[in-house]
Amino acid sequence: MMKFTGKGVYGAIAIGKIAVFERQGMRVKRVPISDPAAEIERLEAAKAVALTQLGEIYEKALKEVGEANAQIFEIHSMMVEDEDYNDAIAEMIRSQSINAEYAVAMTGENFAEMFASMDDSYMQARAADVKDISNRIIACLANEQGTGELSDEKVILCADDLAPSETVSLDKDKILAFVTANGSANSHTAILARNMNIPAIIGLGEAFLGEVQNGVTAIADGFTGELIVDPDAETLTAYQKKQQEEIEKKLLLQKLNGKENITLDGTRINVFANIGSVDNIGAVLLNDAGGIGLFRSEFLYLEKTDYPTEEEQFRVYKKVLESMASKKVIIRTLDIGADKQADYFHLEKEENPALGLRAIRLCLKRPEIFRTQLRALYRASVYGNLGIMFPMVANEWELQEILALCEQVKEELTAENLPYADVELGIMIETPAAAIISDKLAPMVDFFSVGTNDLTQYTLACDRQNPQIEHFCDTHHEALLRLIEWSAKNAHANGAWIGICGELAADTTLTEAFLRMGIDELSVSPSFVLKVRDTIRKIDLRK
């Protein structure tokens, strides 16, 4: 038995035989030519074929992964016709009197290296797209398909990497899982795999390809990122049990998919999902969440070694909004500090960081960081149904400063002729102060979202990360429930809606109590959406 560990990009388990992916050879040689003009005509003909193929792949992707994810192939079509890319190829053919295949290969490598050397992880991932379209054009020049064939048996497909077009072109019915030596979580292949609901593991390293063989039984665990080759009987049995549990969850999905979150007496409630990155969108859609109730934007900051730019943030927010179409997406502004630290912020050491410079306090102390994020959010707002949520608010004056800054940002964008949409603004109720003065705060916002994790620790004076006092950290404490109910009453009295996005939202022993308080939305981890929906549909508030 051998184990290899990479990064799981779609949580599911596959058990089956390995198939090592082999492409048809496209060895490109430098060949002198005597007629550059004719060679460029040959190139144009190959590009026309490539564009036709990309159109067909786009239509296939549209059916399998939806419009937002199929757009990559429209982008590929645009790249095939990119002026800089084509000028570089044509110039190489003319100046060096060489064959089109070699000119495409060299230009593709040069452009891929340029993207790979960039600091932006999104742009780095575009290197694979350049290689993909270059290989396609070369294959068209050589009249080859460029991809390997699979057997009729379902397999765990192992490869060095897979181009987006290869991922979509493969027969999904023959794939149990994708496992690759390279690749990134930001790659379109990873995104497509998630949206095709196929278990996927990336980044296992080149060495694993030398160890695996066709036909050997393996387990691909998309949750942990482990590939277990030739498992022993005990391991195989354990994973078969785990896989069966996942199947039962999927049966629950089939039973509840598309159903409303409505009680027996007709009370409706939104069930949204909490996520920490764009990688989790597939899980949101798979579990049929009504929207995203908490998108933790700090992952953008924690994954970098310097402040993310406005453009970097804009691209991420735009992608999330487009992926969710018209469904509500509530993005929480930066919540750095306490247990979430990034060295480049140069935050001073604090005796009690949970009560220190964090979240909205940090944003108001460093408005240049906050303004950059707000600009990116408002610019992205035209691509979907956005709500912006501010964490750790405890004072009226804090909210007044936040709203004033939002107005300034909108005025700036208007002056720059940059469009933005109407955006719902809300605050998190996660300090007792915010709950107690919720009657003052509610008229200033569109919604509240109760962050029960922090509200619990601040109300009970219990460090939620200290296992020694876990017994004292009573999440059902009457004081906590009273604060939530008081906040709900004040929200509704002032025309605002209220949700819960902390872990308590998934506690189905409290679901009925929350509904009786008037909670309008529960936002939970994607895997809990169906469980909460099932509970809601069994409640009768008339009793």
At CA 261, angle to CA 256 and CA 264, rounded to 5? Answer: 100
Give Cα 67 distance to the centre of its chain. Answer: 16
501 is catalytic: yes
CB 460 within 8 A of CB 480: yes
225: left (phi over 0), alpha (psi -120 to 50) or beta: left
Query: In Å, how far are 248, 377, 438, 457 from 429, measured between CA atoms?
Result: 36, 21, 8, 13
Distance between CA atoms of residues 154 and 163, nearest Å: 20
> Which candidate, 397, 324, 390, places its Cα nearest to that of 362?
390
CB 511 within 8 A of CB 493: no
Name the catalytic one among 140, 158, 188, 406.
188
Distance between CA atoms of residues 63 and 210, nearest Å: 35
418 CB contacts (<8 Å, ≥6 apart)?
A: 379
> What single-letter DSSP state applies at residue 119?
S
Helical ranges in 385-477 per DSSP H: 396-415, 432-436, 438-441, 452-460
363 is catalytic: no
Distance between CA atoms of residues 155 and 157, nearest Å: 6
Name the catalytic one among 140, 363, 406, 501.
501
Tokens in use for 431?
């300090």
> Which candidate, 407, 397, 496, 386, places its Cα nearest to that of 450?
496
Active site members: 188, 501
